[in-house]
Every structure is written in structure tokens, then in C-alpha cells.
């Protein structure tokens, strides 16, 4: 029997298996590869079908347990990619076949490449003005054929949101990246995603900082062994240190409880 999440994305294309939705400790995750995710993005843009994408990592998973709005926002997305080796390992330990980690920054990079190759128009929303400008410059340097439909930094009031929504609606953009922290980006996406007229909408968080060169991504080895969070913490210890310590400890406790329950019930 298909879940609601299965039904919401099953219509996108027959070329990709979108039945690969699995329940991970109460959250429906999309067990797709990066290539499968990209096939869905391309199909959605080509056929002008709304596709809302969100990435799930340990910090967001833990935050969902105490933030009902964030929980609803994540669940209402069409694709919930597994972004975080902690989620990958825990899911596999519980018997869920997660094919690979699909990091938000990798999706963003691939989608920008796709847009440049096929003439799709991109809109950047979020980050500080200087970071936003640098991210756009770097994207154009890497992909000279990339077309920006528009941009707006992430520092605006609730009263300014209707103007921003109108600007996005009139931009004829095919892809919208929202570079704001959790849960702000999820809230914006949930409030306006279906009315923006943009086929592909994705929250990218700190990926714009990486694109702008403000922060560095962890070396591939650290990514593979699940220590990208530690590399980020070293770069921003005051902001990220307490958050990662708290969420990682909480996640280990949740996972351990689930693993024990699974073993006793089997």
C-alpha cells in the first residue's frame, strides 16, 4: 500500500522508482540515489510540476521531535533526502536500505549544472547580501551559461514577505534555492512553496556559504566517515559546537532506544 508521500511524488516520472519511501523512526525518508533525485528534479522542471525538496540530517531530525511546525513542514515535502551519515548508518542498522547519502550541497551543485545545461532559470533567496553576491558570481564563473531569474538576501521582515513572493512569482524561475537556517527555510517553503509557481523548490541552508567560499566543505574522507559536522564545527565552534553536541547526544539516545526495541521484538 502506498503512503501519502508515495502518492505525492509517484506522478513525477515513470523512469524513477519513487516507491522507495521508508519510515525512519516516524519520519518518511526518500531512499533515492543522487542520480534518481536529479531525474526527479529535471522531470519536475521540464513538465512544470511542483516538487518540494528537503534534506534531513541529525540536527533537523532531533529538532522535529520538539518543533511541530518543522515536523509538519518536513513531512509535507515531496522528497526528503538523507543528508547526514548519522541518518544513513542508523537507518541501515534498523534494516532500511538507504542506497547512499544525498547531501544538499551536492544536489544544489548538480541542479545548478543542470540549469546551466538546459537553460533553466535559477532564483537565489537567502544568506547575507555579500555572501549571496559572491555565491552568484562563483556560480556564473563555474557555469557561464547559467541564467539567474532573480535573487534576494535572507534578511527581511515578515511584512516584506508578500513583496518577495510576488517577485519570485513574476521571475519565471524554474528553480528556487532557499539559503536560510532551519526552521526559517522550511517555514517559508511550507507557507509559500505551492503558490510561487516555481517547479523545483529546495532549502539549502549553509550551502550558499560553501558556494560563496565563506566556509569550506570537509575533505571527501571526512564526509565518508561521517565527520563533516566536526569539520564545520571547527570552522564555527561557538555557533555550531553546542548545537551539534546537544543534537548528536539526543540522536544517539533515540536511535539506541529504537535499536533495543527492535532486537527485543524480533
pLDDT digits (tens, 9 = 90+) for 61-96: 999 999 999 999 999 999 999 998 999 999 999 999
Give the per-residue pLDDT at 266.
64
pLDDT in tens, 148-200: 999 999 999 999 999 999 999 999 999 999 999 999 999 998 899 889 999 99
Give the per-residue pLDDT at 230.
87
pLDDT in tens, 226-238: 888 888 889 888 8
Average the pLDDT over 7-24 and give the result. Answer: 57
Residue 190's contacts (CB-CB under 8 Å, 6 or more residues apart) are: 69, 72, 73, 76
The answer to whether 197 and 188 have CB atoms below 8 angstroms apart is no
Give the per-residue pLDDT at 240.
83
User: Does the bond joining 160 to the residue before it have cis omega, within 30 degrees of 0?
Assistant: no
Of 118-122, 194-198, 211-215, 228-232, the poorest mean pLDDT is in: 228-232
In angstroms, the Cα distances linking 251 to 58, 143, 198 are: 7, 39, 34
Would the CA dihedral through 139, 140, 144, 147 be positive or negative?
positive
Directed axis angle between helix 58-66 and helix 85-93, to 10°? 80
pLDDT in tens, 237-254: 888 888 888 999 999 999
Directed axis angle between helix 237-265 and helix 228-235, to 10°? 160
Residue 110's contacts (CB-CB under 8 Å, 6 or more residues apart) are: 34, 38
Amino acid at each position: 500500500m502506498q503512503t501519502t508521500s508515495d502518492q505525492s511524488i509517484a506522478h513525477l516520472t515513470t523512469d524513477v522508482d519513487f516507491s522507495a519511501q521508508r519510515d525512519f523512526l516516524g519520519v518518511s525518508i526518500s531512499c533515492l540515489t543522487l542520480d534518481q533525485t536529479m531525474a526527479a528534479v529535471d522531470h519536475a522542471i521540464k513538465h512544470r510540476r511542483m516538487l518540494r525538496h528537503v534534506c534531513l540530517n541529525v540536527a533537523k531530525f532531533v529538532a522535529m521531535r520538539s518543533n511541530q511546525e518543522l515536523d509538519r513542514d518536513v513531512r509535507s515535502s515531496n522528497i526528503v533526502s538523507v543528508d547526514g551519515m548519522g541518518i544513513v548508518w542508523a537507518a541501515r542498522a534498523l534494516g532500511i536500505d538507504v542506497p547512499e547519502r544525498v547531501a544538499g550541497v551536492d544536489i544544489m551543485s548538480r541542479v545548478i549544472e543542470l540549469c546551466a545545461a538546459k537553460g533553466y532559470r535559477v532564483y537565489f533567496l537567502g544568506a547575507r547580501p555579500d555572501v549571496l553576491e559572491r555565491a552568484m558570481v562563483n556560480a556564473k564563473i563555474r557555469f557561464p551559461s547559467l541564467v539567474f531569474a532573480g535573487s534576494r538576501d535572507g534578511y527581511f521582515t515578515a511584512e516584506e514577505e508578500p513583496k518577495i513572493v510576488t517577485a519570485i512569482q513574476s521571475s519565471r524561475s524554474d528553480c528556487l534555492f532557499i539559503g536560510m537556517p532551519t526552521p526559517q527555510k522550511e517555514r517559508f517553503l511550507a507557507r509559500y512553496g505551492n503558490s510561487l509557481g516555481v517547479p523545483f523548490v529546495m532549502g539549502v541552508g549553509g550551502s550558499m556559504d560553501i558556494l560563496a567560499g565563506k566556509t569550506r566543505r570537509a575533505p571527501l574522507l571526512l564526509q565518508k566517515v561521517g565527520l563533516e559536522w566536526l569539520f564545520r564545527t571547527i570552522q564555527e565552534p561557538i555557533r555550531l559546537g553546542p548545537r551539534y553536541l546537544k543534537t548528536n547526544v539526543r540522536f544517539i539516545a533515540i536511535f539506541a532506544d529504537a535499536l533495543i526495541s527492535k532486537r527485543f521484538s524480533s
